[in-house]
Copies of this chain bind each other. A is one copy, B any other.
Amino acid sequence: MKHVLAEIITIGDEILYGQITDTNSQWISAELDKAGIRTKRKVSIGDQKPEILSAIEEAQTRADIILITGGLGPTKDDITKKTFAEYFGVEMYQDKSVLENIENLFKSRGRELNELNQQQASVPKNARVIMNLVGTAPGMWFEKKGKVLVSMPGVPSEMKKMMSEQIIPLLQERFDTPFILHKMIKTIGIGESKLAPIIADWEDNLPEHIKLAYLPRMGQVRLRLTAFGTNKEKLILDIAKQIEKVFPIIDKYVYGFDNEEVEHTIGNLLLQKKQTLATAESCTGGLLADKITDIPGCSAYFKGGIVAYSNDIKVSQLGVSAATLEVHGAVSEQTAMEMAENVRKRYNADYGISTTGIAGPDGGVPGKPVGTIYIGYSDKNETFAKLLQLTKDRHININFTYNAILNLLRKKLMEIE
């Protein structure tokens, strides 16, 4: 069956200078994927007319749908809109409904309309206007020779609202879309090249319409299954069958599926057990608490945490003994253990976890180079700590530590090993 193909064009010099990460195109392609539309290519170009024209011309030879973000905004030139007018051979005009929308927006915010904002109501004559309910730059839908071209503002919140509420439904109405089904199996604590031989037999026997991909990420490997077809129910069953086969081989590494993160898994396990958690962080500096509290509803199991960055806070607020710090140092098995145990008791939680280490780039000492990190664990039966000998890179160290301590807690909660 024929796939409906899309190409995404993001416009902005700041993307080419490397000053911002283009997160729009990632979000858009994920939404298209859910709607059964396959992204064939993504292109980023600067705010120049010849670039915009050539990108559109090339895209229409490859794709059924061209989605463009950026190049619109009160302080930007209207190069983008004029380029569309030229491409389609039409004039510009001021759209009343857009002007009204801009006026209402300003009224509701108690602000004065200026000329810059009024100009934003100007659009090419063949555009079907897509109202921007949260900003001043309108979206535009064009059709030419069976191809659809949609222009959206580059501000992510405006683009996302417009895309979810208006453009995706219009695309689904306009095109006959097939089913693409993904299932992500998420593993932690095993590397890609160790995992591959374990599941090689299973992989070799996957049916034709199901593909497997390995997606490694700091301390984790995600296995993505993708199935294509016309019958959604059948695809769901086909994928379920494959998961049933592979799961027993890798179950102790699997913490979840799809958008589930390891902090969701831990949250669910704590909810089931009606137990609670507290964190004591030094080298992760709040990342652990931040990630745990990213999950709505975490207040049911997360008591709170402490970022004990300085030694006096470790003593006064966490009750680590001054003698421990004196004898073993802040980066030691003993300190990690006291941190985990004390935060558990002081915060009246069932589990306490801790991190302490030299994240880098500086701070290494003889016998404890940058990358020397301890993670601590405590419950009512036992308290222990583990040494991680990591890299020179602060970012890698912090993120790897975060994955390691959450995996340790996950295994304890699931009683693995």
Contact = CB atoms under 8 A, between A and B. Distances in A.
Interface residues of A, number: 93
A16 B44 contact: no
A31 B18 CA distance: 8
Contacts of A76: 214
A107 interface: no
A29 interface: yes
A40 B28 CA distance: 22
Contacts of A116: 193, 196
Nearest to A212: B75
Contacts of A21: 21-23, 26
Contacts of A136: 193
Contacts of A361: 296
B293 A304 contact: no
Contact of A286 (B155, B289, B346): B289
A279 B303 CA distance: 17
A109 to B, nearest CB: 10
Contacts of A51: 40-41
A74 B200 CA distance: 13
B41 A18 contact: no
A244 B317 CA distance: 47
Contacts of A18: 26-33, 39
Interface in A301-317: 302-310, 312-313, 316-317
B362 A296 contact: yes
Interface string A281-311: 1001111111111101111001111111110
Nearest to A289: B286
Contacts of A75: 192-193, 196, 214
A347 interface: yes
Contacts of A387: none
Interface of A: 13-23, 25-33, 38-46, 51, 55, 58, 73-76, 114, 116-117, 136, 155, 157, 182, 184, 192-193, 196-197, 213-216, 224, 226, 279, 281, 284-294, 296-299, 302-310, 312-313, 316-317, 346-348, 360-362, 393-394, 396
* Interchain residue pairs A-B with the least CB separation, the first 3: A285-B293, A18-B30, A286-B289
14 contacts: A18-B29, A18-B31, A18-B33, A75-B196, A285-B289, A285-B293, A285-B298, A286-B286, A286-B305, A296-B360, A303-B310, A304-B308, A305-B309, A316-B347
Given A41-B44, A157-B396, 20 more contacts: A16-B40, A16-B41, A17-B29, A17-B33, A17-B226, A19-B182, A19-B215, A114-B197, A286-B290, A286-B292, A286-B305, A289-B307, A296-B361, A304-B317, A305-B306, A307-B307, A312-B348, A316-B346, A316-B347, A317-B347
